[in-house]
Amino acid sequence: MTSRALQMIDTLVSTIDAVEQKTESGCPYDSKICPNVAGKVSAKQYAEMVADITALLKEKKCAPILVRLAWHDSGTYCKASKSGGPRAAQRFGAGESKHGGNAGLEIARNLLKPLVLKYCASNTVSIADLWTLAGNVAIKATGGPDVPFRFGRKDIKNATQCVEEGRLPDAKQGVEHVRCVLGRIGFSDDKDVVALSGAHTLGSCHADRSGFEGPWTTDPLKFDNSYFKDLLNKKWKIGVSSAGNTQFVNNDSGATTMMLPTDFTLVNTPETRVWVEKYAKDEKLFFKDFAVAWQKLIESGYDDKTLYSVQ
């Protein structure tokens, strides 16, 4: 084999290695959607983003999964190590996108990709900002509180900056586990544990993603306090999902709904049950406390010096 042929092979191997490395740890999209945010969002741009997200919600009925994406991108934060948090870490082919707790979230990421292409190429909007904004808009669009939103999150550069698996809630666990997860983020009050759990008023579980299946409430596209009312008032039976996981089921109204072990533990623990009862009685109180907790969650790892509001 000639030296020229060997050189060509070496070049080809190097090219393949570079492509594989980019697929595993680099941004899998066009460089335009790996923004180096330098400017600030204008009021006009903010209004356009909200309008586009609202239109997407109406067309695709995708509010629950957009809320889940915002939650899971933010919910990896560790106050002690100042790592994790909303950084658009799931956009890579490796790392957090492969974590079990994020199964199925490629649906949300792909739904938002056209908006990422449209807005994040301007270098004024990070992908993390767009993902969390989408969750905010989804909550309001389905009848929930209008949570204040601030821009300024920074995207990580590659998958090597992803955090380890295991920082998100495990639905098979009890209230102590949820306290531990939220405590790591910076929440210390059972009120916050229960309020944030109230996001389960939206959406359904899918056996091929979480191992559980079914909606929490009879209207999974409406953000209200039905989740808490149902926890208290419905008769729950132990069931098993098609994936073999224990869950709690009810079909009193003819429509089957379910609760996860982490949900059911809230009514069996005195310190959290008191908040379940309060929110079941008072939706306004739930909205108020949820809005505060949700804003803190999606701003995890940032402060007033790095975040800014758009008027």
Kindly list the catalytic residues.
Answer: 72, 216
Give the contacts of 269 (CB within 8 A, at least 6 positions apart): 174, 175
CA dihedral 6, 12, 14, 20 (to 10 degrees): -150
CA dihedral 161, 68, 210, 262 (to 10 degrees): 110
Single-letter code of the amino acid located at 57: L
C-alpha angle with apex 181: 150 to 106, nearest 5 degrees? 65
* Nearest Cα to Cα of residue 309 among 147, 185, 154, 138: 147
Residue 129: how many other CB atoms lie within 10 Å: 27
For tokens 């070496």, name the residue: 10
Judge contact between 201 and 225, C-beta under 8 A: yes
Output the six-digit token pair for 34: 């790996």
Alpha-carbon distance of 19 to 27, in angstroms, equals 11
For tokens 């790392």, name the residue: 95
Judge contact between 232 and 267, C-beta under 8 A: yes
Cβ neighbourhood burial of 229 (10 Å; 0-12, 13-18, 19+): middle
Taking CA atoms, 212 is separated from 72, 126, 209, 275, in Å, by 17, 32, 8, 25
Output the six-digit token pair for 26: 């680099």
* Nearest Cα to Cα of residue 66 among 76, 57, 58: 57
